[in-house]
């Protein structure tokens, strides 16, 4: 029904691939709406408009659907960040703008973000085990974009006197904190959204850069 989030398939050969995408889209919607464990294959199949067994023509297992979504979330984020990495971040304003990409991505794709970084805690861990995609190339790329930036700024003497790797992790944590809390606690009496995001990012930047 909701075709909105569909991403262009890598290889749009037959009809099969489209189906696959439909399934993923439906699953993503349901997973994040109801929680991975609360969604049944029946629901997914029904949402797509196919029969339950047909699902198994596209994915060997329910877990595989989750895994694919997880991977994609990272890819998407990495891509988002990368596309903004060419912005000039040698000014505080530029840096804030760059961080803003991450935050916006999270808040605009809460489904994906949740799957990627708040993955129902251990719920999925059983599946992924040693194969945690957090540490995959995809993640590395996401995280790498940020680190590259920090390293460069550090080299230029713009940051406080702390090892860039540490700063990177701190900045990431800072951003993640806001995004995840806002996603997880929509009922909380947050102050006005724009103001909060802006303030928060400036807090981070002020904390990281030498003199602002």
Residue 11 interacting partner from DNA, its own copies, none (CB closer than 5 to 8 Å by kind) = DNA
User: Which of these segments, 42-50, 58-66, 73-81, 168-176, binds its own copies (CB under 8 A)?
Assistant: 168-176
Supply the minimum distance, in Å, between the C-beta of residue 208 and its own copies: 6
Nearer to DNA, 57 or 212 (CB): 57
Please report, as residue ranges, which positions from 85 to 114 form the binding site for its own copies (by CB under 8 A). Answer: 114
Report if residue 32 touches its own copies, rule: CB under 8 A. Answer: yes
User: Which of these segments, 1-9, 78-86, 94-102, 188-196, binds its own copies (CB under 8 A)?
Assistant: 188-196
SS (H, E, C) 173-200: HHHHHHHHHHHHCCCCCCCCHHHHHHHH
Residue labelled with tokens 């971040």: 89
SS (H, E, C) the chain: CCCCCCCCCCCCCCCHHHHHHHHHHHHHHHHHHHCHHHCCHHHHHHHHCCCHHHHHHHCCCHHHHHHHHHHHHHHHHHHHHHHHCCCCCCCHHHHHHHHHHHHHHHHHCHHHHHHHHCCCHHHCHHHHHHHCHHHCHHHHHHHHHHHHHHHHHHHCCCECCCCHHHHHHHHHHHHHHHHHHHHHCCCCCCCCHHHHHHHHHHHHHHHHECCC
Residue 108 interacting partner from its own copies, DNA, none (CB closer than 5 to 8 Å by kind) = none
| Residue among 6, 20, 33, 144 that touches its own copies (CB under 8 A) | 33
Structure tokens at 113: 């973000």
Report if residue 137 touches its own copies, rule: CB under 8 A. Answer: no
Binding site for DNA (CB under 7 A): 1-3, 7-8, 10-16, 19, 39-43, 50-57, 60-63
The site for its own copies, by CB under 8 A, has a size of 58
Give the Cα separation of 186 and 53 in Å (integer). 36
Report if residue 13 touches its own copies, rule: CB under 8 A. Answer: no
Supply the minimum distance, in Å, between the C-beta of residue 47 and DNA: 12
Report if residue 56 touches its own copies, rule: CB under 8 A. Answer: no
> Which residues contact its own copies by CB under 8 A?
32-38, 114, 117-126, 132, 134-135, 160, 162-163, 165-167, 169-178, 180-181, 183-185, 187-191, 195-196, 199-200, 202-208
């Amino acid at each position: 029904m909701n075709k909105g989030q569909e991403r262009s398939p890598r290889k749009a050969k037959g009809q099969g691939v489209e189906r696959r995408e439909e399934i993923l889209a439906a699953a993503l919607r349901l997973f994040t709406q109801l929680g991975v464990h609360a969604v049944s294959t029946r629901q997914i199949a029904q949402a797509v408009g196919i029969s339950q067994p047909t699902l198994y023509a596209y994915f060997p297992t329910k877990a595989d659907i989750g895994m694919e979504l997880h991977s994609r979330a990272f890819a998407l984020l990495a891509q988002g960040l990368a596309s903004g990495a060419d912005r000039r971040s040698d000014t505080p304003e530029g840096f804030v703008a760059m961080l803003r990409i991450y935050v916006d991505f999270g808040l605009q794709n809460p489904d994906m973000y949740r799957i990627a970084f708040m993955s129902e805690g251990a719920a999925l861990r059983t599946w992924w085990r040693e194969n945690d995609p957090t540490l995959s190339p995809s993640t590395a790329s996401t995280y790498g974009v940020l680190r590259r930036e920090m390293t460069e700024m550090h080299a230029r003497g713009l940051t406080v006197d702390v090892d860039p790797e540490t700063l990177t992790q701190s900045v990431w944590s800072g951003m993640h904190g806001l995004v995840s809390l806002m996603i997880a606690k929509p009922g909380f009496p947050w102050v006005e959204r724009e103001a909060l995001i802006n303030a928060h990012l400036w807090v981070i930047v002020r904390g990281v850069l030498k003199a602002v």
